[in-house]
Amino acid sequence: MQLGMVGLGRMGGNMARRLIEGGHTIHVFDPSSDAVAASTQRGGIGSASLDQLVESLSAPRAVWVMVPDGAPTDETVSRLASLLSSDDVVIDGGNSNYKDSMRHAEKLAARGVKFLDSGTSGGIWGLKEGYSLMVGGDESAYRRLESIFDTLAPSKDSGHGYVGPAGSGHFTKMIHNGIEYGMMQAFAEGFEILKAKEEFDLDLAQIAEIWREGSVVRSWLLDLTAAALHEDAELSEISAYVDDSGEGRWTVAESIDLGVPAPVITASLQARFRSRQEQPYGAKMLAAMRNAFGGHAIKRSGE
């Protein structure tokens, strides 16, 4: 099947490669000419502009967008809306807010262009293992392009599916990422407690390996944790700074809007915020209050 791929970063580039290796004809565009050249060397058909990419596709066209969420996606979708024709399809496979996806679907529908929002999970491992794809939007477009999703997914019969109307794909992926935050935080806290029990001199890499087989907490996240511990159990080359993509924030905001409690996901998001602070003011305030009411010793700067 023929497909246009816009955005050839870590995810988009690997997705284009998996599709090419799966026998599809993939036309590619990225603002980076080096990224386009790398993809063409693997069998992609390069374009120097978005206009050229659209012109190179046969109708009805399908264009997959893999660019950063927010303004870059808005601008790309708006440009495609002016270039595409009735019955063409735009797929947004990035980490867009589901509300933006609903807006994009409405904008494209006014021109007769169909829209799919594909929540995409798999990261840098997707090239080899396949991607988990949660697809919302026009169901007829999904069925027409199903061979694309079959190829990107771990298998034809697993790892992807149509989940509902426009926005539902990215909404589902948003909640997926919120759950991911909580799972990661639980593993991080558990292994920190294990490490703190110095009298047992525990081998954390060994424990991770034991848990990987047969335990209730066995998972791909645990597999990755075990690999990291085998490489460097002290994590000596890693800074204790954890970023976030924004989807955890959106999940917490949605829980508030819906009145659905999400204490674990919320706490894991807050832990990421704290990881980015050096000598956080709030902790200093706690120390000052303990000293003020109880005379508890405090550590001065530099101690």
Residues designated catalytic: 173, 180
The phi, psi pair for 87, rounded to 5°, reads: 80, -5
> Computed over its alpha carbons, how large is the radius of gyration of the chain?
23
**CA gap 25, 29 in Å, rounded:** 14
Q: Can the peptide bond before residue 60 be classed as cis, meaning omega within 30 degrees of 0?
A: yes
**CA gap 10, 8 in Å, rounded:** 7
> Is the distance from CB of 160 to CB of 153 less than 8 angstroms?
yes
Tokens of 298: 């405090």
Q: Identify the bridge partners of residue 155 per DSSP, sorted by sequence position.
A: 158
Classify strands 114-121 and 62-65 as parallel, antiparallel or unpaired: unpaired
Nearest to 53 by CA among 115, 6, 11: 6
Tokens of 138: 């026009």
**CA gap 135, 182 in Å, rounded:** 23
